[in-house]
Amino acid sequence: MPAFSRFTPLISALPATVPFVGPEAIERNRGLAVKARIGANENGFGPSPLAIEAMCAAAGETWKYADPENFELKQALASHLGCAADNIAIGEGVDSLLGLVVRMVIDPGLPVVTSFGAYPTFNFHVAGHGGRLVTVPYLDDRENLEGLLEAVRRENAPLVYFANPDNPMGSWWDADNIVAFARALPESCLMILDEAYCETGPADATPAISALIDQPNVIRTRTFSKAYGMAGSRVGYAISTPGTAQAFDKIRNHFGMNRIGVAAALAALKDQAYLSQVIDRIRDSRERIARVAESNGLKPLPSATNFVAIDCGRDGAHARSIVDGLMEHGVFIRMPGVAPLNRCIRISTGPESDMVFLEEALPKVLKNL
């Protein structure tokens, strides 16, 4: 007699997994202390001082739920972006929004198009809702727009995911190509345009809000986790037409936002001068990482994000040995998960102290390989 399962067949068939191994788990499992946390694409430069002040002020009122309509944050974002508040949906980071989009669109067995080696958390949500991943290999370390479009048409896919700038490679397409891709999609296919790193890339890599705001089959997702330095606050948002944006209200967790994080986001939006300073520091740190890589015989790839992918010149096993070796020195980094991208390691930008740890440890690791 088969064992009883209280879960659905779909859930019973899925592995219990976390898409990313965090530095905390590495510290626990390997007994090593992280000295330079430059592997999770966090912003080590931190949030605006105004955001920190707002968090402290809001802490005493954390006994209250956040506004379930997120009215004030929607209004502030609309003013900042130059759109209407009805064009915006709020969520607990982009990860939460991605899960909601998949839930809105995908029934078990339906195809979902994405790039092979792209953001694992999106794939995690697709699997969790029973979707069938259709993956397209990167081309020259960039997401292959023509390949993605061909896969959408071939599979009659109702959903396609595309990040610009890209994680894990840091590459990007210019705005004209992105808009052309979006307009070439069948009306039946919803596009997630993940713009988590839009603030750190060149201006011509991000379409104007007006360019896609009237296209109901495009959802643009953004976050306060990267350039704004608030990954732990879990504040993200989606931009689309009112009808598409408001569809989130049918299934979202209406009390999911934390009051302290919302207060911080509102304050951060008001401090664009600090954001500009951080973006400059991220650019300088990218250049520093590239110089460290080159001085050690490795090849940094161009990046529009807050990290640099570095071609280590061999295979995934070699790259993994560098990742593990750096951790032995307390330097936490990551690498892409699939070949041929996994010939690379990926290093997040960070403050000077982190760069010093990296600069000192990398040649020692390479010497021992």
What is the per-residue pLDDT across 158-209, written as a single tens digit (0 to 9) for each? Answer: 999 999 999 999 999 999 999 999 999 999 999 999 999 999 999 999 999 9
Residue (of 167, 134, 166) closest to 152 by Cα position = 134
The answer on pLDDT for 3 being more than 80 is no
- pLDDT attached to residue 143: 97
| Separation between Cα atoms, residue 249 and residue 266, nearest integer Å | 21
Give yes or no for a cis peptide into 15 (omega within 30° of 0): no
Digit-coded pLDDT (tens) for 290-318: 999 999 999 999 999 999 999 999 999 99
The answer to whether 90 touches 74, Cβ cutoff 8 Å, is yes
CATH number of 49-270: 3.40.640.10
Give yes or no for a cis peptide into 340 (omega within 30° of 0): yes
Element (H, E) at 308: strand 307-311
Cβ neighbours of residue 93 closer than 8 Å, sequence gap 6 or more: 223, 225, 231, 234, 235, 236
Q: Is 263 helix (H, G, I), strand (E, B) or coil?
A: helix
CA angle 354, 317, 347 (to 5 degrees): 20
CA angle 46, 169, 248 (to 5 degrees): 65
Residue at token pair 């295979």: 315
- pLDDT attached to residue 302: 97
Q: Which two tokens stand for residue 67?
A: 């506004």
Cβ neighbours of residue 359 closer than 8 Å, sequence gap 6 or more: 292
Q: Phi then psi for 156, rounded to 5 degrees?
A: 50, 50
- Per-residue buried b or exposed e for 327-337, using 16+ beta carbons within 10 Å of the residue's own CB: bebebbbbbbb
β 331-332/132-136 pair status: unpaired
Evaluate whether 9-46+273-367 and 49-270 have a shared fold: no
Average model confidence (pLDDT) for the chain?
96
Residue ranges of domains in the chain: 9-46+273-367, 49-270
DSSP category for residue 139: B
Residue (of 17, 246, 249) closest to 125 by Cα position = 17
Cβ neighbours of residue 321 closer than 8 Å, sequence gap 6 or more: 369
- pLDDT attached to residue 227: 98
- pLDDT attached to residue 229: 98
Please tell me the class of the 9-46+273-367 domain: alpha beta
The answer to whether 145 touches 176, Cβ cutoff 8 Å, is no
Residue (of 207, 262, 204, 198) closest to 230 by Cα position = 262
| Separation between Cα atoms, residue 312 and residue 323, nearest integer Å | 11
The answer on pLDDT for 2 being more than 60 is no
Digit-coded pLDDT (tens) for 82-121: 999 999 999 999 999 999 999 999 999 999 999 999 999 9
Which residue did the predictor score with more confidence, 6 or 1? Answer: 6
The answer to whether 243 touches 87, Cβ cutoff 8 Å, is no
Q: Phi then psi for 62, rounded to 5 degrees?
A: -70, -10
The answer on pLDDT for 1 being more than 60 is no
Q: How many CB atoms lie within 10 A of CB 269?
A: 20
The answer on pLDDT for 349 being more than 90 is yes
The confidence band for 17, taking pLDDT boundaries of 50, 70 and 90, is confident
The answer on pLDDT for 283 being more than 90 is yes
| Separation between Cα atoms, residue 230 and residue 43, nearest integer Å | 8
User: What share of the chain in percent tops pLDDT 90?
Assistant: 93
